[in-house]
Structure 1
Amino acid sequence: MRGFWPKANFRFSGYRFIVPVFTAFLALALSGCESAPPRAFPDLTFAHLSPINFKVGRIDISTRYIPPLKEPNVEHLAPVTPYGAIRRWGEHRLRAIGGDHVANLIILDASIRAVPLKTTSGIKGLFLREQSLRYEGRASFLLEIRDSRGRQRAFLTVRSKYDGTAVEGTSIADREKIWFKIVDEMMKELNAQIQAGLPQHFGAYLAGN
């Protein structure tokens, strides 16, 4: 018994020393795992554009595109998703001023896919920093007018695509910039196509006509 107690005291004192050290190490490790603060991106807004006034009772926005939420699709990781940008465009630009008809904006595609590119292999490839991924942005939607009986009276489908590439080892911050650029450029093209097609496809349903 006499030889037992010193041994027990030694273990206990050692344990008391280890606990603070382990706690400090754990706190440091957890602090390193904390997510970085979100990066700020310009707000993709279309409120500065004149509204498109339709002689309809309401504007409905829906989607046929369901994001896979897995590779090779990455649109759900973008700071502004193509789906969100198209929906916001519809909310900002399309306006119902009254009537029996309904205007539908139906999202058909709102994707960004990562496509691997061929890079140099072997020792030579170790000294090169090549484009390793192409991000393919695709966006399209249908804008239509239907009467009270559900018959389609006017429609226009617009499509846009824009690609961006990333070099090997591109950081998440730089990838987000690429994705944001893709969405921004696609929305500019979609908006331009709708604006150009309004008189021909929706003339009878526009306010002032």
Structure 2
Amino acid sequence: MKALSIHGVRVALAGAVVALLAACTSAPVQTYPDVTWRHLDPIVFAAGPVEKVAAYPAGGDNNLEGYLPFSLGKMAMNWVDDRVQTAGTSDILRYSVTEASINSNALKTTKGIKGVFTDDQSEKVEMKVSAKLEVLNANGTQKGEVMATAVRTRTLSESMSVAEREKAVYDETATLLMDLDRELERQINANLGRFLLR
């Protein structure tokens, strides 16, 4: 049996590494659908055009938005398209998302031998979204305004895979956006009822 030369061993190892890297990079990237509210009854305003303003600041050091395959801010901006209809006057609706953040903070975990056998909650994810809806006349003078905020937190265990963590954060984000919808509708009915078409 012919012995494999040092050069042959190197070539074989290089081929194995390339094959391993190709397998790692060809894994499918998980995609998540945008949260929508199209299944809900529209809120109909006696108004004309709708303006949309993305007024939320960029995330800080602990912000996860850049690492997730979905965007809380972009989905929150879609709320007015799905829930609001206008008809009737020259009044303007201005919808602004003023905050959209998903921040992560590390939690203390068990160290040493005990830690090897302990599945701790290793990360706390804090989510917050805020939005404002204004009714303006044709000259831009405000006639009415409502503001709504929704907040949620979720802890993640250290044994979760990256895909499991993303799915958990997405599910919590979807719930957060439904919370925002409910609070906006409540505020609109309580404070902007005079501008609604019943």
TM-score by length of 1: 0.81
2:35 to 28, 33, 44: 44
- Kindly provide the amino acid, as one letter, of the partner of residue 46 in structure 2: K
CA RMSD of aligned residues (A): 2.5
Partner Cα separation in structure 2 for residue 193 and residue 139 of structure 1: 11
Following TM superposition, by how much is the alpha carbon of 1:54 offset from its aligned partner in structure 2, in angstroms? 1.4
Q: Helix, strand or coil: the match of 1:200?
A: helix
2:68 to 71, 78, 82: 78
Following TM superposition, by how much is the alpha carbon of 1:42 offset from its aligned partner in structure 2, in angstroms? 5.2
- Kindly provide the amino acid, as one letter, of the partner of residue 182 in structure 1: E
Partner Cα separation in structure 1 for residue 51 and residue 88 of structure 2: 14
1:131 to 121, 124, 133: 121
Cα 1:21/1:122, change in 2 over 3 Å:
closer
Partner Cα separation in structure 2 for residue 193 and residue 97 of structure 1: 23
Which digits, 9 at most, give the CA deviation of each residue in 1:25-51, with x for residues without a partner?
Answer: 464144134142133545522111111
Q: Matched residue pairs, number?
A: 194
Q: Are the aligned partners of 1:80 and 1:183 in contact in 2 as well (CA < 8 Å)? A: no
Identity %: 26
Partner Cα separation in structure 1 for residue 175 and residue 35 of structure 2: 11
- The answer to whether residue 153 in structure 2 is matched with residue 147 in structure 1 is no
Following TM superposition, by how much is the alpha carbon of 1:77 offset from its aligned partner in structure 2, in angstroms? 3.1
Which digits, 9 at most, give the CA deviation of each residue in 1:90-122, with x for residues without a partner?
Answer: 211112224211111111111110011122223
Q: Helix, strand or coil: the match of 1:190?
A: helix
TM-score by length of 2: 0.85
Q: Are the aligned partners of 1:82 and 1:111 in contact in 2 as well (CA < 8 Å)? A: yes
Structure 1 segments unaligned to the other structure (5+ residues): 1-13
Cα 1:20/1:125, change in 2 over 3 Å:
closer
Structure 2 segments unaligned to the other structure (5+ residues): none
Partner Cα separation in structure 1 for residue 74 and residue 65 of structure 2: 10
